[in-house]
Chains A and B, each alone.
Chain A
Amino acid sequence: MSIKDLFKFKRRKNLEQAKPSQELISEQELSELWAQCPSCKTTIYTTELKANLMVCTKCEHHFRISSYDRIEQMIDADTWEEINGSIKPTDALNFVDLKPYPESIIGAKKKSGATEAIVTGIGKINGLETAFGVMEFGFLGGSMGSVVGERIARLAETAIQKKLPVVLISTSGGARMHEGLLSLMQMAKTSSALLALKKHKLLFISVLTDPTYGGVSASFAMLGDIIMAEPKAKIGFAGPRVIEETIRQKLPKDFQTSEYLLKHGQIDLVVSRKELKKTLAQLIKMHK
């Protein structure tokens, strides 16, 4: 962020304070223009942040990003073709908590702009055609229900038909409670669908991003031939609060971070967002 930008921001603030009735810019517009880094608290101009792939220009904190922003970052322009977008969730159990599940789905669609907690399709990574899936944390916490399972299984099947490598980028709180045991079964469904890739010598790269937990980390996300994670992403099976309540002790500061997993032999690589596309392309090329 340049000094000039900061000055502009301050002046705008001052104007607002002086004339609250004549706002030059709304609260919402302001938050669209600026973002605060949750890690170092620096205020960053959104366009600048976007240009830096949503990584803090000061402390390298990787912001959580939407599935479509991720596709834009990872897939070559004009090569993306979404598949199985017409597979939609349904309320199989008539699940009602504080509100009915169908209402939660409508809310999640509005909030995320995605039709489910994963977007799948075919696109090119530095010219290399790939079966690609990105989870959407904005859609009910990236939770895996029937649709996520089905879209992943079909992506794997498409990859086999077209002889393509598979890349899945995960971010999820775990299995979706609203679909009960059906959600748990998606762990088995995705894991065995991806198993079929091995027989065809097709590479599966799993990329873990912040956060990846529960039924997603304990299934397909940990079954990549190569597993990588973005820096400082939180990844684990059980959530830290549940663990603290169980063992009644404080957890180490780096617990369940990408770096912690790397140190404990659970993932192959920690790769910064700026290096991610290049690294994926290189690995795919090496396995052709």
Chain B
Amino acid sequence: MNKNTFVLDFEKPLFALLNEINKLEEATDKQKCADLIEGLKKQFYDLRERIYSNLTAHQRLQIARHPERPYTLDFIKGLGENWIELHGNRTGADDEAIVGGLLELEPNLTVVIVGTEKGHNIKEKQRRNFGMPQPSGYQKALRLFKHAETFEMPIITLIDTPGAYPGLEAEANGQSWAIAKNIQEMANLTVPVIAVITGEGGSGGALALGVANKVLMFENSVYSVISPEGCAAILWRTRDKAASAANALKITAKELLEIGLIDEIIPESAGGAHADYLQTTANLKTALQKHLGILKTKSKEELRAERILKFRNYGIFTQ
């Protein structure tokens, strides 16, 4: 059952039930109402199933942004052994909106993991800039990609960001170039690259970690060219139309799989990734192992050429 403290609007009936169950369980004559508790629990699971199997794009967006959703460092805890975080872009900064390092995914399989990190409490959020990288963050990522290439390690990126940071220094330090450079260099890598949208795939800031051989998305994650609020403000002239924009933009994993822009959907635990980190992380690991198994049979040139071709073919037009 969910232990979350942050409750989304459409989860409210669910948490009302949960409250009732908790109250009964804490009562002194708990034995007497065992049947009642069982009944309520069944109701809870049924309702959760019903709510979570009929989500709108806008509801998924809220789940993707749930403050208790697992972030990169949460996933890393359950994904492998001997995590060693590596820091810095080597030219003056260590942007903590992006974390990266080495992890033994399996006893004989070291991978480079690079992911955005939003942080769970206010202090962490500030330190991580709410998961919005600066140019130095993208430079750090690129340095780690190159490290992986040198030592022939697969690369896994975990993406959950509102986008690249729209700030004065970010612009002065070349945000555009940093993103463009990463996109181009990632296309050219000769090791397996798997990108996973774990929460919010926010525009260019997400794509700068997203040019991969396989692009996977969590069931309730979203991936979008612009935030639905931003899109609504421009095309509908009001941010209040974010739900309409979320529908129009086709941002959910299911829709993007249908269009052919992603390769696989990773299931989340019942009640969303925030309800069960362990199960969600296990699902992630299964998907990663499957795709790494396929990619390891390919030559360096195949990995590079297939990745470039994959993105070369994206686009729908008439001729």
A→B interface (CB under 8 Å): 86-90, 92-93, 95-98, 146-147, 149-150, 153, 175-177, 179-189, 191-195, 214-215, 217-223, 235-239, 242-243, 246-247, 249, 251, 255-256, 260, 264-266
Inside 8 A of B19's CB, which chain A residues have their CB? none
Shortest Cβ gap from A237 to chain B (Å): 4
Evaluate whether A185 and B171 lie within 8 angstroms (CB atoms) in the complex, with A93-B248, A177-B235, A242-B166 already known.
no
Evaluate whether A90 and B316 lie within 8 angstroms (CB atoms) in the complex, with A98-B235, A180-B224 already known.
yes
Inside 8 A of A146's CB, which chain B residues have their CB? 314-317
Q: List 5 A-B contacts (CB under 8 A).
A: A87-B318, A88-B317, A179-B316, A237-B170, A246-B165
Q: Is B269 in contact with chain A by the CB < 8 A criterion?
A: no
Evaluate whether A246 and B180 lie within 8 angstroms (CB atoms) in the complex, with A97-B235, A186-B314 already known.
no
Inside 8 A of B308's CB, which chain A residues have their CB? 192, 195
Q: Which residue of B lies closest to A216 (CB)?
A: B176
Q: Which residue of A lies closest to B179 (CB)?
A: A218
Interface residue stretch chosen among B62-70, B249-257, B278-286: B249-257
B174→A264 contact, CB < 8 A: yes
Q: How far is the CA of A223 from the CA of B203 in the complex (A)?
A: 18
Shortest Cβ gap from A288 to chain B (Å): 24
B207→A187 contact, CB < 8 A: yes
Q: Which residue of B lies closest to A193 (CB)?
A: B312
Q: Which residue of A lies closest to B168 (CB)?
A: A247
The answer, among A98, A237, A243, for a CB contact under 8 Å with B176, is: A237
A177→B226 contact, CB < 8 A: yes
Evaluate whether A181 and B224 lie within 8 angstroms (CB atoms) in the complex, with A192-B184, A192-B308, A247-B168 already known.
yes
A98→B315 contact, CB < 8 A: no
Shortest Cβ gap from B246 to chain A (Å): 11
Evaluate whether A243 and B231 lie within 8 angstroms (CB atoms) in the complex, with A97-B248, A180-B249 already known.
no
Interface size on B, residues (CB 8 A): 54
Inside 8 A of B188's CB, which chain A residues have their CB? 192, 195
Evaluate whether A149 and B224 lie within 8 angstroms (CB atoms) in the complex, with A182-B261, A236-B176, A243-B166 already known.
no
A191→B171 contact, CB < 8 A: no
A181→B223 contact, CB < 8 A: yes
Q: How far is the CA of A175 from the CA of B225 in the complex (A)?
A: 7
Chain B: interface secondary structure? helix
Q: How far is the CA of A186 from the CA of B208 in the complex (A)?
A: 13
A180→B250 contact, CB < 8 A: yes
Q: How far is the CA of A147 from the CA of B168 in the complex (A)?
A: 32
Q: How far is the CA of A235 from the CA of B317 in the complex (A)?
A: 28
Inside 8 A of A246's CB, which chain B residues have their CB? 165-167
Q: How far is the CA of A101 from the CA of B42 in the complex (A)?
A: 46
B225→A183 contact, CB < 8 A: yes
B residues 41-55 with Cβ under 8 Å of A? none
A237→B187 contact, CB < 8 A: no
Inside 8 A of A183's CB, which chain B residues have their CB? 225
A255→B171 contact, CB < 8 A: yes
A86→B179 contact, CB < 8 A: no
**Beyond A150-B315, A222-B181, 5 extra complex contacts between A and B, CB < 8 Å:** A177-B234, A187-B183, A191-B187, A193-B312, A221-B180
The answer, among B234, B244, B251, B314, for a CB contact under 8 Å with A188, is: B314
The answer, among A184, A185, A220, A243, for a CB contact under 8 Å with B167, is: A243
Shortest Cβ gap from B207 to chain A (Å): 6
B residues 204-241 with Cβ under 8 Å of A? 204, 207-208, 210-211, 223-226, 230-231, 234-237
Q: How far is the CA of A181 from the CA of B227 in the complex (A)?
A: 11
A185→B183 contact, CB < 8 A: no
A237→B204 contact, CB < 8 A: yes
B314→A182 contact, CB < 8 A: yes
Q: Which residue of B lies closest to A208 (CB)?
A: B176
In the complex, which of the residues B172, B187, B236 has the most CB atoms of chain A within 10 Å of its own CB atom? Answer: B172
A214→B315 contact, CB < 8 A: no
Inside 8 A of B248's CB, which chain A residues have their CB? 93, 95-97, 180
